[in-house]
């Protein structure tokens, strides 16, 4: 037997998002939402009549439309959540050129940097690239371009207003720059990256799993959904939470666009 207290929802434990535009469908792995709400989007038609007292009263009503929206809050920053917010598919790309860009305050201990080890930022960079650039602030705070010198020949002690770019992201800044803020941009070629592509992610299946106080399971299944871009709000750049609204659609596979049920089985850990 169960009590009413036992049969209350304790919290969500999982979300499954599938791209159904491909066969077999592809799962987009996400963190569990920190919050979720369902706007049923129900519209009613009210049939009115006049009572014996001459007053307009409601005689009956019926549902004329359902336009449900599922709103979720997710931890931001993951590639999957970001791609969903853009409504685009993730893809891998090879042969990309990206820039290693940093601002440093030059000191006597960091004006010379050795190349990065395998797997670290800058590894694989070719030395003395023509597009490598660096800038420093002059006495008035105006950025001034530094002169690039070959990494093998630069003399940090005697050269001035100069830098070099070595293999694997190594660099040297001349000693007259000590105490200055400098910014550098070095190209890193032939990179394999994960990126948000051009293909739309607009055919989704959503499943939510929750757990009751007695550890039995709750399920919400949405066979067809798409991103509600206008209702999803801003995309945080950095730590924070991402709001994602999903427009629930009717695809003809069920009579209702949402299926909700409670399982008799309890969660086993």
Distances (CA, A) of 160 to 90, 136, 141: 45, 12, 18
Per-residue pLDDT of the chain (269 residues; tens, 9 = 90+): 667 777 788 989 999 999 999 999 999 989 999 889 999 999 999 999 999 999 999 999 999 999 999 999 988 888 999 999 999 999 999 999 999 999 999 999 999 999 999 999 999 999 999 999 999 998 888 999 999 999 999 999 999 999 999 999 999 999 999 999 999 999 999 999 999 999 999 899 999 999 999 999 999 999 999 999 988 988 888 888 999 999 999 888 888 899 999 998 888 87
Q: What is the pLDDT of residue 96?
A: 94
The radius of gyration of the chain from alpha carbons, rounded to an integer in Å, stands at 29
pTM (predicted TM-score) = 0.79
Upper half-sphere CA count for residue 96 (Cβ side, 13 Å): 12
Residue 103 preceded by cis peptide, ω within 30:
no
Cα 136 to chain center, whole Å? 34
Q: What is the pLDDT of residue 19?
A: 95
Domain assignments of the chain as residue spans, ordered by start: 9-87+201-266, 93-194
* Separation between Cα atoms, residue 141 and residue 65, nearest integer Å: 62
Query: In a 3-state reduction of DSSP, which class is residue 39?
Result: strand
C-beta of residue 20 within 8 angstroms of C-beta of residue 203: yes
* Separation between Cα atoms, residue 110 and residue 123, nearest integer Å: 18
Q: What is the pLDDT of residue 83?
A: 93
C-beta of residue 68 within 8 angstroms of C-beta of residue 246: no
Instruction: Identify the CA nearest to 66 among candidates 27, 100, 40.
Output: 40
Q: What is the pLDDT of residue 1?
A: 63
Q: How many residues does the chain have?
A: 269
Q: Is 192 exposed, middle or buried (0-12, 13-18, 19+ CB in 10 A)?
A: exposed
Q: What is the pLDDT of residue 254?
A: 80
Q: Which fold has domain 9-87+201-266?
A: Pnp Oxidase; Chain A (2.30.110)
The helix (run of H) or strand (run of E) holding residue 43 is strand 42-50
């Amino acid at each position: 037997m169960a009590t009413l207290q036992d049969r209350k929802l304790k919290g969500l434990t999982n979300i499954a998002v599938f791209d159904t535009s491909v066969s077999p469908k592809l799962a987009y792995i996400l963190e569990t939402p920190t919050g979720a709400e369902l706007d049923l989007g129900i519209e009613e038609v009210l049939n009115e009549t006049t009572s014996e007292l001459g007053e307009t009263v409601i005689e009956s009503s019926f549902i004329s439309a359902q336009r449900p929206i599922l709103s979720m809050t997710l931890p931001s920053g993951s590639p999957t959540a970001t791609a969903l917010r853009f409504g685009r598919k993730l893809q891998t790309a090879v042969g990309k050129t990206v820039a290693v860009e940093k601002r440093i305050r030059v000191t006597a201990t960091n004006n010379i940097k050795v190349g990065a080890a395998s797997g670290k930022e800058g590894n694989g960079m070719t030395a003395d690239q023509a597009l490598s650039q660096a800038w420093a602030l002059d006495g008035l705070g105006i950025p001034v371009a530094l002169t690039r010198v070959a990494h093998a020949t630069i003399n940090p002690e005697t050269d001035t207003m100069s830098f070099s770019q070595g293999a694997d992201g190594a660099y040297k800044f001349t000693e007259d720059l000590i105490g200055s803020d400098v910014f550098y941009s070095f190209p890193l070629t032939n990179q394999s990256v994960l990126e948000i592509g051009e293909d739309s992610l607009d055919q989704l299946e959503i499943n939510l799993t929750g757990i009751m106080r007695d550890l039995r399971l709750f399920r919400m299944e949405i066979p067809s959904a798409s991103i509600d871009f206008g209702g999803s709000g801003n995309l945080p750049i950095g730590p924070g939470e991402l709001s994602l609204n999903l427009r629930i659609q009717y695809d003809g596979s069920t009579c209702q666009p949402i299926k909700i049920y409670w399982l008799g089985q309890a969660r086993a850990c």
